[in-house]
Amino acid sequence: MKSYLYSRLAAAALLGAFVGLGSYAFLYAKGYSYLLNDPAACANCHAMRGQYDAWLKSSHRTAATCNDCHTPHNFAGKYAVKALDGFLHSFYFTSGWYPDNIQITRLSLHVTENACRHCHSSITQAIDVNVPHRNARGMTCTRCHYTVGHSDESAWLLVIPTSSFRSHL
């Protein structure tokens, strides 16, 4: 009887430690900011600093935040994707197992494609009626319009200086 009580106490203490440590980590890492809509939160952990900087200079900065393109446009989907990404980011950033130039996942690409089509539906619907395009495998908006969100090019970081060094000109 006694050992039964002790073991329940031990389990409760462990759970408490998890909840306590987890809460502290949540506050310390500004976890609450991830529940909101401010794009600055996405640069909290430094890994996406470049993407954030480029977005600030992109054509979409006045039209769409990170969430508008990278989470679904419905409540359940939005927080499900946030939860999944939050877990994966925590895992990869802690382990360090991710490339320097980060790459989009299939799910995320799918979400983004739907986001393009959500806001630009009048254009994309007109394209979809065009049979060859609709049937084109792997055709996504960002395949061509990859600069609109946050690329070096959208940010004009690659401006070629006028004094560019070209001997043959």
Partner 1 sequence: MKAKPEDSSSNRRWLVATVVVSGVAVFAVAALLINIAERKQEAKNPFYRVVELNETISDPAVWGKNFPMQYDLYLRTVDMERTKYGGSEAEPHSPTKADPRSVVARSKLEEDARLKTMWAGYAFSKDYRERRGHAYMLEDQTFTERQQFNPPGACLNCHASMVATYNQLGNGDMFKGFEAVNHMKYTEARQYAKHPVACIDCHDPQSMQLRVTRPAFISGIRALKASQGIPDYDVSKRATRQEMRSFVCGQCHVTYYFAGPTKQLTFPWTGGLHVEDIIAHEDQSKVTEWQHPDTGAGMIKARHPEFEMWNQGVHARSGVACADCHMPYTRMGSLKISDHQINSPLLKINRSCQTCHHFSEEELKARAEDIQDRYFALRNVALDALMDLIHDIQASKNKATPEQLAVARDSHRRGQFMIDFIGSENSMGFHAPQESMRILGSAINICRTGQIVLHGGPAPSKSLIGKNASASK
Task: Write the single-letter amino acid at 63.
Answer: A
The reply to whether 11 sits near partner 1 by the rule CB under 8 A is yes
* 60, 88, 90, 120: which one binds partner 1 (CB under 8 A): 90
* 32, 33, 40, 49: which one binds partner 1 (CB under 8 A): 49
Contacts by residues 151-157 (CB-CB < 8 Å, ≥ 24 positions apart): 151/54, 151/58, 152/54, 154/54, 154/57, 154/58, 154/59, 155/53, 155/54, 155/56, 155/57, 155/58, 156/57, 157/54, 157/57
Min dist CB 49 to partner 1, Å, is: 8
The reply to whether 56 sits near partner 1 by the rule CB under 8 A is no
The reply to whether 47 sits near partner 1 by the rule CB under 8 A is yes
Min dist CB 165 to partner 1, Å, is: 5
CA quadruple 44, 78, 73, 105: dihedral, nearest 10: 70
The reply to whether 22 sits near partner 1 by the rule CB under 8 A is yes
* 46, 97, 131, 144: which one binds partner 1 (CB under 8 A): 46
The reply to whether 135 sits near partner 1 by the rule CB under 8 A is no
Min dist CB 74 to partner 1, Å, is: 29
The reply to whether 137 sits near partner 1 by the rule CB under 8 A is no
* 74, 100, 129, 144: which one binds partner 1 (CB under 8 A): 100
The reply to whether 125 sits near partner 1 by the rule CB under 8 A is no
Min dist CB 14 to partner 1, Å, is: 4
User: Of 14 and 126, which CB lies nearer to partner 1 in the complex structure?
Assistant: 14
